[in-house]
Amino acid sequence: MQRRIFTLIAIAALSVGLAACGSSSKSSSPAAGTAQITIDSGFKFTSTAVTAGSTVMVQNNSNATHTVTSDDSGKFNVSIDGGKTATFTAPAAGTYKFHCNIHNFMKGTLTVT
Ligand SMILES: [Cu+2]
């Protein structure tokens, strides 16, 4: 009985270790300067095509906070503080129109292949 509990603890510790390892390598993979969506100081989105399921990096080069929010609700929605970056997971292949929730005039399109 005691041995069984020890085994369970060992398995739990191992899976935590694996999860930590997986997340650390994931967060370091998008190198600086490879943002797929950028926001310039003119409140404009620029985007390049991304692959389904990949990590999409958004770089906010303005001083204001913006969001990248899919027009089709729930596909993606991320808020990026001025001068910062944020990431989200690309949805299934398709063409997605998106906007900024804070500035309604800001619109962009993300192509997922
Ligand atoms: Cu905005």
Q: Are 24 and 17 contacting, i.e. CB atoms less than 8 angstroms apart?
A: no
Q: Which helix (H) or strand (E) holds 51?
A: none
Residue 10: its H or E element: helix 2-28
C-alpha 10 to ligand 1 mean position (Å)? 47
**Same domain? 16 vs 60:** no
- What is the total count of domains within the chain? 2
Q: Same domain for 42 and 25?
A: no
Contact 110, 45 (CB under 8 A): no
Q: Ligand 1 centroid to 62 CA: how many Å?
A: 9
Instruction: Clarify whether residues 91 and 46 are in a common domain.
Output: yes
Ligand 1 centroid to Cα of residue 68, in Å, is 8
Distance CA 101, CA 78 (A): 10
pLDDT in tens, the chain (113 residues): 455 545 444 444 444 444 444 433 344 444 455 899 999 999 999 999 999 999 999 999 999 999 999 999 999 999 999 999 999 999 999 999 999 999 999 999 999 99
From first CA to last CA, the distance across the chain in angstroms is: 52
3 state SS of 110: strand
Kindly give the distance from the C-alpha atom of residue 65 to the centroid of ligand 1, in angstroms, as a whole number: 6
Question: For the whole prediction, is pTM greater than 0.75?
Answer: no
The backbone torsions φ and ψ at residue 111, rounded to the nearest 5 degrees and listed phi first, read -100, 125
Beta-carbon neighbours within 5 Å of ion ligand 1: 66, 100, 102-103, 106
| Length of the chain as a residue count | 113
Whichever domain contains 56, its CATH number is: 2.60.40.420
Ligand 1 centroid – CA 86 distance (Å): 14
Element (H, E) at 88: strand 85-89
Q: Please tell me whether residues 20 and 44 are part of one structural domain.
A: no
**In terms of residue numbers, what domain contains 24?**
1-30
